[in-house]
Amino acid sequence: MERYRKKKNPNIKLRYNLLTAFIYVAGIILLVQLFSLQIINGATYRETSNTRLARESKLYATRGSILDRNGNTLATEEMTFSLEMYKTKIENSLLNETILKMINTLEQNGDSYTDTFPIKINPFEFKFANEEKKNEWLSKYELPSNTSPEQALAYFKDKYSIENDNVEDIRKIVAVRYRISSEGYSATKSLTISTNISRKSALIFTEQNDVYPGLSVGQSSKRVYPNATLASHILGYINSISQSQYEANKDKGYTMNDIYGQTGIEYVFEPYLKGTNGIRQIDMSVDGSIIDEYIEEEAIAGSDVVLTIDANLQKVTEQALQNTINDVRNSTIYNANAGAVVVMDVHTGEILAMASYPNFEPTAFVGGINSETWKSYNSAENNNPLINRAISGTYAPGSTFKMVTATAALQTGNVTTTEKVNDTGIYPRGHNPQCWLYRQSKRGHGYLNITSAITKSCNYFFYEMGYRVGIETLSKYAYDFGLGRKTGIELTNESAGIIATPEVAKSKGETWTVGYTIQAAIGQTYNSFTPLQMARYVSTLVNGGKQIDPTIVKTIINADKTEVSKEEIENSTNQRLNLNLEKVNDIEISDQNLDAILRGMKGVTSDGQGTAYSVFKNFGIKVRRKNRFCSKRRKCNKCLVCRICTL
């Protein structure tokens, strides 16, 4: 062993000497490099470092489009130019001069810019919602509560050392300096002056960069709604991100300069529509001149949301709704001024058109809505155009509820399809309500079975059915049909509606009586549902009790052309709308009972004594169930349910 160690020692020593020599040589090379950097070329590198600043600018992703089922564009993006300002090493006086020249250039070319300074001139006044807000603002700057707008402007003139006596010029400079103080900017973080400047302004700021130190022109996009008010309640609108929205989403890449969907599809699918911003590298000199710029990270466009609606049908539906409202208002005693329509495929639940009147211009919100328009859109005098009455408005269903009562009575055995009830005109229970025919002609409908009672909309018959069934069973069937609860449609502000029950009466300090029950049976008392709920209920009925979930989103297509799964869309919708919906079970309705109800519904428009016959007699299109599926969802031309279409 000793001999072995002695034999190996010379090699170990040689390796050690070689390693020492390598380190020595590397050290000399490093010293030479440091000498070159700091002594020989030090002045050159220091000059370059002091005159060149690398800045990152956000490259905004194109927001995804919203399309109809046929690919027609309902909302898209239009490329625009944005103007950003970076902090530079220039004197205060030059900064103020640059700001004034910048704003004058924008105004000369008809371009707007963000202005949050809360003082107007010509005439002078504060721009606060109330006195409390004004006093809070004055207190923030240690100004007395009796400070006038003129005095406040003078304070900021001194604060920013503005050497200009023209009030309009002072106001322009203060507007930008105020935002700089409030929002901040730096050599690497810009302040967005405007997100939509003209090409003319963009060329001026780019070509005369030395005249406008610190300014950088970037490309951005603007939301465009090419069809004006079409489908406005479905699309919703976008606006500048709010403070609370920013706080909730800042870890997802949002800044206070971003836009954010506020209602409708724009809000619900904001995570998909937004896209992923990229990074643009800008090299500037310390005086603010741009030396070079390039894209460091490409932006990824937002996903396209494809709706189930048909744009052409939507247009026809909206126009028909408006015309009908005008006709009713002009030809009757009713002051009709608002309404809603839902057109739904009864077999799939897809919404083909959804209209609410009055509507609004989503474009009005792009770039910030003015106070006058906002006030108008939220005015009761203008019938609150922002409300989507198809899903947010709840109304007494009236006679359209009678099929719920009919289903409950038939399925529980409280009446058969052949039993007849004699309508004498005045119902002998509760508060002795009268059938509508008795109020008109002082007579009843006589003997009616359930089919003819639906056709003639006989109140007396359904008073009796409500009395036989009872409110608990009646309200249960209403709930099973999806009434009194949200449908889960992919839109904001859906109402749940109300089913008339003793509990509702108690909450209002009233005692439930048999009179309430018989009125609930014809869709009165507290019954109040949305048009969408009613469309769903009728669809469930004509499908033989098979539940249909309404939907207005067909698919979502990502930038790489892949599609988002239905499950993911549903989960995202539930999260955005904070929904946790109870599973809706199918309703058992026998073929015989369903046949009796559907024949009654058909008779409303096709029977000479039907309550809507006078409207539909010359319609040219039969209003009936399409001969496609039986109650068991089998293609068939022989079952009772389908046969009613060929009577």
Residue 49 lies in a domain: no
What is the structure's pLDDT at 368?
84
What is the structure's pLDDT at 483?
96
What is the average pLDDT across 557-581? 95
Q: How many CB atoms lie within 10 A of CB 16?
A: 10
Q: How high is the mean pLDDT of the chain? A: 87
Q: Which of 155, 184, 213 is the last residue of a domain?
A: 184
Q: Which of 158, 184, 210 is the last residue of a domain?
A: 184
> pLDDT tens, 243-281?
899 999 988 888 887 899 999 999 999 999 999 888 877
Which pTM was predicted?
A: 0.75
Over pLDDT 90: what percentage of the chain? 67
Q: Which of 153, 184, 215 is the last residue of a domain?
A: 184
Rounded to 5°, the CA angle 4-9-11 comes to: 115
Nearest to residue 472, comparing CAs of 412, 432, 531, 528? 412
What is the structure's pLDDT at 490?
97
What is the structure's pLDDT at 224?
95
Number of domains in the chain: 2
Residue 122 lies in a domain: yes
> pLDDT tens, 392-415?
999 999 999 999 999 999 999 999
Is residue 485 over pLDDT 50?
yes
Is residue 27 over pLDDT 50?
yes
Least confident among 294-298, 342-346, 359-363, 452-456: 294-298
Residue 295 is classified by DSSP as E
At 215, is the secondary structure helix, strand, or coil? strand
Is residue 632 over pLDDT 90?
no
Range of the domain at 501: 394-542+586-646
> pLDDT tens, 119-136?
999 999 999 989 999 999
Residue 30 lies in a domain: no
> pLDDT tens, 82-96?
899 988 888 999 999
Nearest to residue 170, comparing CAs of 214, 119, 134? 119
> pLDDT tens, 598-625?
999 999 988 888 888 888 887 777 765 4
Over pLDDT 70: what percentage of the chain? 85
- The CATH number covering residue 413 comes to 3.40.710.10
> pLDDT tens, 217-240?
887 788 999 999 999 999 999 998
Residue 61 lies in a domain: no
Give the position of tokens 């109300």. 498
Distances, alpha carbon 79 to alpha carbons 57, 61, 609, in Å: 17, 11, 60
Residue 462 lies in a domain: yes
First to last CA, the chain: 113
Is residue 634 over pLDDT 60?
no
Residue 209 lies in a domain: no
Residue 242 lies in a domain: no
Please return the burial class of 538, using the count of CB atoms within 10 Å of its CB with bins 0-12, 13-18 and 19+: middle
CA distance 439 to 458: 12
Residue 476 lies in a domain: yes
> pLDDT tens, 292-319?
766 778 889 999 999 999 999 999 999 9
What is the structure's pLDDT at 567?
95
What is the structure's pLDDT at 33?
62
> pLDDT tens, 144-154?
999 999 999 99
DSSP result, 535-587: HHHHHHHHTTT-----B-EEEEE-TTS-B--HHHHHHHHHHHTT--PPPPPPP
At residue 553, φ and ψ (nearest 5 deg) are -115, 120
What is the average pLDDT across 483-497? 96
Least confident among 196-200, 284-288, 408-412: 284-288
What is the structure's pLDDT at 19?
60
Phi-psi region of 231 (alpha: psi -120 to 50; beta: other; left: phi over 0): left
Is residue 588 over pLDDT 80?
yes
